[in-house]
Amino acid sequence: MKNANPVPKATLQRYPVYLKALRKLQKNGVSKIMSKELSQFVDIEPTTIRRDFSFLGSLGKQGYGYDVNKLIEIFNSELGVDFDEKIILVGAGNLGKALLNYNKWDYVVGEITCAFDSDPAKVGSIFGIEVYSMDSLEEKMPEGCRIAILTISENVQKTVDRLIENGITGIVDFTHQHFQVPRGVVVKVVDVVSSIQELVFTTNSMDTNTTAEK
């Protein structure tokens, strides 16, 4: 039986990390694993892993560890992952092409099934994935598609509105531009520059602390 307490946001953010590691372990023939062993794959403390897993119920046995296949099944159910999530990409420029090349995401969340671009020169096939004109969005939108990756730099709000009108409820945003969405639509902003700035600040702080300790 699952824990009645709500799962903390930080724990939810770690669940996909666990799932990705477990899928790789399964692929390598690993059938059971201890929290201490899993810790080495995901760089998360064993106590944190056990606490995170406790929100999903009694999953492991003392001295035995966790059944990898069972964990994957539970995480699939919790995260709504069935490995055939249909994702679309809007914007087939340099970043978009890189994402298409990286497609399948270790088979954890599905795959990009097609892309759209307003530039006629980009229409065609890239890494085996069809790129359609934005003019054909309504016609070519995969049935049941809920997630879009946005890498465009122009007409962002207009494009977002159009995507939502066609059933998109989750957007991965690489645009670095402000746009608004209605309640019920989730936006995940990916800001590489801010991440690098945070890393620089963190490493500088670590260097300062190390110097101070000497």
For the segment 151-207, what is each residue's pLDDT rounded down to a tens digit?
999 999 999 999 999 999 999 999 989 999 999 999 998 887 777 877 787 787 766
Helix, strand, coil: what percent of the chain each, to 5? 45, 20, 35
Q: What is the pTM assigned to this prediction?
A: 0.64
> 106: pLDDT confidence band, cut at 50, 70 and 90?
low
Structure confidence at residue 96 (pLDDT): 93
CB contact at 8 A, 127 and 112: no
All residues at 6 or more sequence positions from 119 whose CB lies less than 8 Å from its CB, including other chains:
92
Q: What is the pLDDT of residues 26-63, one digit of tens each?
A: 988 999 999 999 999 899 999 999 999 888 876 656 66
Q: What is the average pLDDT across 85-89? A: 89
Q: What is the pLDDT of residues 12-35, one digit of tens each?
A: 888 888 888 898 899 889 999 999
